[in-house]
Structure 1
Amino acid sequence: MTEKKSAWQSPWVIAWVAMVVIFFTMNMIMIYLAIDNNPGLVVDDFYERGEDYEENMLKKQARNPGWIMSIDMPRKIDVGQSVVCRFTVKDKVGNPISRDGVTFYAYRPSDAKQDFSVAMNQVGPGEYEAEVSFPLKGAWDALVSIKNGEDEYNTPKRIGVGIDWIP
């Protein structure tokens, strides 16, 4: 008489069950991350802002002065620690640009209630500074906005607070 072997002794059955378990586990992890972490920034008036988006972007690109803008932040930022954010702006040939209305914006991708902004002070030709403090650990999106008459130009930077971050 031949003895029946258990299906669990077959490597094919074990491999298929392992793949199904891994598939469901990864899906549960992805669902948890999608619910727990808001994936991006949302504005309240998204429809109104997007109605003429292409037309407005083309107009803005036509008026773009070609400025060279950069944000300088410390590599290590701790929660609640005041740090100095530096912003420089130069024209196409490297001459400093001075304008009124330079603002530092900090956006928390996972919680819009934590967003804040700080006016930047001019410390030299084309050089601006602001002292900022981040209340929560994690990823932040920084944006420095400079106005030139009616137009506004922005430069972004991703910041890690309270973690080892490689920009």
Structure 2
Amino acid sequence: MISQDHKSGLRNPWLLGMLGLIAVVLAVNATFIWYATHDQSSLIDREYKTKDRKSNTQLLSELGRQQALGWKATINKPKSLIQGQPTMYEISVMDKDGKPVSGEMEVEAYRASDASKDFITTFKEVAAGNYQGYVGFPLKGYWELHIHIKRGNDEFAVDTERFMVVEAAH
């Protein structure tokens, strides 16, 4: 038998190289699997199945109420957003007749990749229908703002498009 007579098969550099390559690939895959199951960052809300669960009827009813209100929000966006630096936002809200909407405004800063850094801030009404508030983003990356306005029993919500917050220059 050839294999029993030649015990140098396990010393072959090609075989050792292939075994080493397989070991590296398995180790990298195991590392990726560990990070995927243990890292708290995610691209979706962890309670997406149960949080704010509404039936189609509820969603259509809510959409109908928002359309019936006919409120319009205008957001004066800052030119640049820098991590850790509070930036002033100005938001004006008008009803369908063009009259200012006075009420309470909350702004939720939402970061899709790390829900633990999401936060809510209250904006002050500085004039009828005009709101101001400072928002300081703790992390660089993509963020969205979810704006909620309440006047009596009327509620209105509008979302911004995704925007980038950059790291402060050192």
Q: Same fold (TM over 0.5)?
A: yes
Q: CA deviation at 1:45?
A: 6.7
Q: Which runs of 5+ in 2 are unaligned?
A: 1-31
Counterpart in the other structure of 2:65 = 63
Please tell me whether the aligned partners of residues 71 and 144 of structure 1 are also in contact (alpha carbons under 8 angstroms).
no
Output one character per residue of 1:71-123: Cα deviation in whole Å (capped at 9) or x when no partner. 22202111111110111100113211111x21011011100110011111001
RMSD: 2.5
Aligned residue number for residue 90 of structure 1: 94
Task: List alignment gaps of at least 5 residues for structure 1.
Answer: 1-30
Give the percent of matched residue pairs that are identical in Structure 1 and Structure 2: 31
Q: Deviation of residue 127 (structure 1)?
A: 0.4
The code of the aligned residue for 2:65 comes to: R
Q: Does the CA contact (< 8 Å) of 2:102 and 2:151 recur in 1?
A: no
* Bigger radius of gyration among the two: 2
Corresponding position of 1:113: 116
Deviation at 1:48, TM superposition (A): 6.2
* Cα separation, 2, equivalents of 1:48 and 1:159: 24
Aligned pairs (5 A) from 1:6-85: 38-40=42-44, 42=45, 44=47, 46-47=49-50, 49-50=52-53, 52-64=54-66, 65-85=69-89
Distance 1:159 1:61 in 2: 25
Distance 1:72 1:44, change over 3 A: same
**Secondary structure of residue in 2 paired with 1:61:** helix
Partner of 2:128: 125
How far 1:151 sits from its partner (Å)? Answer: 4.3
Query: What do the CA deviations read for 1:107-153 (whole angstroms, capped 9, x no partner)?
Result: 11100110011111001110001111111111001111001334432
TM-score, length basis structure 2: 0.66
CA–CA distance in structure 2, aligned partners of residues 48 and 140 of structure 1:
20
- Quote the offset at 1:54 in angstroms: 1.0
**Closer, same or farther in 2 for the Cα pair 1:49/1:105, shift >3 Å?**
closer
TM-score after normalising by structure 1: 0.67
> AA paired with 2:101?
I
Following TM superposition, the consecutive aligned residue runs of length 4 or more in structure 1 with deviations greater than 4 angstroms are: none
What is the CA–CA distance in structure 2 between the aligned matches of 1:48 and 1:144, rounded to whole Å? Answer: 18
